[in-house]
Amino acid sequence: MIRQLFRFKGGIHPPQHKDRSTRSPIQAAWLPKQLILPLHQHIGESGEPIVAVGDHVLKGQKIARASGYVSASVHASSSGTITAIEELPIPHPSGLSASCIVIDTDGEDRWIEHGPEDIPYTEMDVSHLRNLIRTSGIVGLGGAGFPSSIKLNPAGSKIDTLILNGVECEPYITCDDMLMRERPENIIAGAKIMRHALNARQCLIAIEDNKPEAYTAMIEACKDEDIEVVQVPTLYPQGSEKQLIKVLTGKECPSNGLPFQIGIVVHNVGTAAAVHNAINLGEPLISRIVTVTGDGVAEPCNLEVLLGTPMQALLDQCGGLNSDVDRIIMGGPMMGFAMHSTEIPVIKTTNCILAATESNVTAPSDVMPCIRCGACADVCPVDLLPQQLQWYARSKEFERAQEHNLFDCIECGCCAYVCPSNIPLVHYYRYAKTEIWAQEREKEKADIARQRHEFRQSRIEREKAEKAARLAKKKAAVKKPADGEKDDKQAAIQAALDRAKAKKEAQGVEPKNIENMTPAQQKQIDDANARRQQTDTSEQES
Ligand code: SF4
Ligand code: SF4
C-alpha cells in the first residue's frame, strides 16, 4: 500500500549541490596529534570532567560525566594523555569559548576494554537500555544535539510512531545520505532498539527523492523487517521535525509542543547508527560522519571523524582550501553559522564543514531596505510573519515578537533566502531569542534575590515575634499579686499591729525612767503630749 503524504505550508527549492561530496565513499579521517573535546557538545548542562591533567586515557574511556538530566557524557575519542582542561573556542555563532579537555594522542588509538552486555537488549529492562544509551553520550546527530535517552523516554505517553529522519534537506550536506548508502544495516539495527525502547507501533524511515541510492539501500536492508521506508518529494525544510511529521502523518505538532504529545518520536538516522554501536558493540559516541564540501575546498567528501578533531585537519585531508574561500561554515548554507577559526574542533553536532566562496552564500553587504513584498511570509513553513518579526527584533519590542510566535521559528532561513532585499532575517530572530533568554535569566536571578530577601525579612519578623513571646512569658512567670490579694495582706499586717498594741495595753506597761523628773523635763513631756494630741485631733478632723 502506498502511504498518503501531506504537504506543509511554504518551503523552498534551493540548489542542492550534493553530488560533489558523494563521489567517493566515506573515508576515515586522519588521527590528529591533538583532540579538543568540549564538555558542552549538546543541548543541556555541560559534562563534568572525571580526569585530570597528566592522566593517560584510552579510546572510548569516559572523561566527563553527564551533570544533570539534560546532559551528556564525553568520551576520549583516541588514546593519549590529558594535557589541559581549559577554556578554548568551541563551535558557536558568537565565537564563544568553553571548557574543553585536550588530549595529546599517542598514535596507538588503543581502545578501552568494551563490548555489548551479556543479555540481548530485548531482554533488558527498558530503563537500563536507556541508561546505556545515556552513558554512551549519544545525542541527536542531525544537528540539534538533544540527549537521545530523553527522547526515548516519553514519560508515560503512548508512542504510536517512531520516525527515522533521513531527509537531509539542507543543500551541500550528504553525511546521512552516505551513511544510508553504505551502512543501512547499522541504521536498521539502531531503529529496532529505539522502537523497542519506545514500544512504538510502527517505524518509518523518511528519505527525500533526491537520494535514490540511499533509498534503494534502505529498502534492501528493510526487506525482512517490519519497517517502512518512505520516499518524500524534495522540499526544504522537510527535515525539520514538525514539517516531517506533517508530511508523513498529516498531524500538526502543537505550537510550543513536542512530538511525543501526539504519539510520535523522531530521531536522525545517524543517531540510530550510534545507538546500534552503543548497544550491540558497546562503543560510546566518539566519532561521526562529517561532510567537507563547498567550492572553497579542493576535494569535497565525507569523512568519519573522531570527535575533537580540529576542522583544519579535515580541510587539509580534503586537499586544503582554495584561494577564493570566503568563510568556513559549520552546517549548511541555510542553518549553519560561520566559524571564527579552523582550529575549532568537530563536535557531536557537526554534520558539515562548508568551505564557502562568495557565490555559495549571500554577501552581507548586499542588504537593502524591506520593500514589503511579502515573499518571506509566503515561504515560511511555520506560517509566521517574518518581516514583522524582524521589525520587532530590530526595535527591541521583544514582547511583541513573542506574541507573534518568535519561538516557533525554526531558523530555517527560507524567508532570508527569498528576500529580494537580502535582509539577514534569521540573524534578527537569533538576536531576539538570545536577548529574551538573557532577560529571562536576569529575571530569574532577580526573582531568586527577591525571594531570598523576603525569606530573610520573614525570618527576622518571626524571630522578633518569638523573642517578644518569650519575654512576655517570663514576665508572666514573675506573678504580680492581684488587687484582692494586696488588701488581704495589708489587713493582716494591720491586724498584727493592732494585736500587739492591745497586748501592750492589756499588760499595762508604763514608760520607764519617768520617776524623779525635773520640772523642766516634766514640762517637755507635757508639751510633747499636747502636740501629739493636737495632731491626732487634726488628723481625725481631716
Ligand atoms: S521578503 Fe524581504 S523585502 Fe519582502 S517583505 Fe520580507 S523582509 Fe521585506
Ligand atoms: S526562519 Fe523562521 S521566520 Fe523565516 S521562514 Fe523559517 S521559520 Fe519562518
How far does the centroid of ligand 1 lie from the alpha carbon of residue 71, in Å? 39
> Which amino acid type is present at position 162?
L
DSSP character at residue 506 = H
State the pLDDT at residue 476.
85
State the pLDDT at residue 522.
81
Contact 252, 187 (CB under 8 A): no
How far, CA to CA in Å, does 61 sit from each of 34, 77, 115, 349? 16, 8, 13, 20
Burial of 37 (0-12, 13-18, 19+ CB in 10 A): buried
Question: Which atom of ligand 2 is least distant from the CA of 389?
Answer: 3
Spatial separation of the C-alpha atoms in residues 211 and 234, rounded to whole Å: 9
Taking phi first (over 0 means left), then psi (-120 to 50 degrees means alpha), and beta for anything else, what does residue 319 get?
left
Which three cell numbers, joined as nine digits, stand for 380? 515560511
Contact 253, 259 (CB under 8 A): yes
Q: Which sequence spans correspond to the domains of the chain?
A: 19-358, 367-470
Spatial separation of the C-alpha atoms in residues 144 and 137, rounded to whole Å: 14
Which ranges in 36-125 belong to alpha helices (H)? none
* Atom 6 in ligand 2: residue holding the nearest Cα: 412
DSSP character at residue 71 = B
Closest to 384 in 3D by CA, of 426, 422, 423, 424 = 426
Element (H, E) at 51: none
* Atom 3 in ligand 1: residue holding the nearest Cα: 370
Cβ of 414 less than 6 Å from ligand 2: yes
Spatial separation of the C-alpha atoms in residues 444 and 436, rounded to whole Å: 12
Which three cell numbers, joined as nine digits, stand for 387? 518581516
Closest to 291 in 3D by CA, of 42, 14, 16 = 16
How far does the centroid of ligand 1 lie from the alpha carbon of residue 346, in Å? 35
- Splitting the chain (542 residues) into consecutive groups of 10 residues, what average pLDDT does each group show? 91 96 97 97 92 98 94 97 97 88 98 95 96 97 91 90 97 98 98 97 98 98 96 97 97 88 96 98 98 96 98 97 93 93 96 91 77 96 96 95 94 95 93 91 87 89 92 81 63 84 70 67 81 65 48
* Atom 7 in ligand 2: residue holding the nearest Cα: 409
How far does the centroid of ligand 2 lie from the alpha carbon of residue 387, in Å? 10
* Atom 5 in ligand 1: residue holding the nearest Cα: 372
Nearest-5° Cα angle at 272, 5 to 2? 20
If one residue of 240, 407, 415, 431 were mutated to test the ligand 2 pocket, choosing by the most ligand atoms within 8 A of its CB, it would be 415
State the pLDDT at residue 542.
47
State the pLDDT at residue 108.
97
How far does the centroid of ligand 2 lie from the alpha carbon of residue 109, in Å? 44
310-319: pLDDT as tens digits: 999 999 999 9
The per-residue DSSP string of 419-483 comes to -TT---HHHHHHHHHHHHHHHHHHHHHHHHHHHHHHHHHHHHHHHHHHHHHHHHHHHHHSPPPPH
Question: Which atom of ligand 1 is least distant from the CA of 386?
Answer: 6
How far does the centroid of ligand 1 lie from the alpha carbon of residue 53, in Å? 53
Q: Which residues of 168-200 are buried (b: 16+ CB within 10 A; e: fewer)?
A: bbbbbbbbbbbbbbbbbebbbbbbbbbbbbbeb
Contact 35, 85 (CB under 8 A): no
Which ranges in 291-412 belong to alpha helices (H)? 311-317, 375-379, 386-394, 398-403
Spatial separation of the C-alpha atoms in residues 493 and 481, rounded to whole Å: 16
How far does the centroid of ligand 1 lie from the alpha carbon of residue 402, in Å? 20
State the pLDDT at residue 539.
52
Spatial separation of the C-alpha atoms in residues 62 and 72, rounded to whole Å: 11
- List all residues 6 or more positions away from 104 whose beta carbon is below 8 Å from its beta carbon: 33, 34, 80, 81, 83
Homologous superfamily of 19-358: NADH-ubiquinone oxidoreductase 51kDa subunit (3.40.50.11540)
Q: Which residues is 354 bridged to in the sheet? A: 293, 329
This prediction's pTM? 0.81
Contact 343, 312 (CB under 8 A): yes
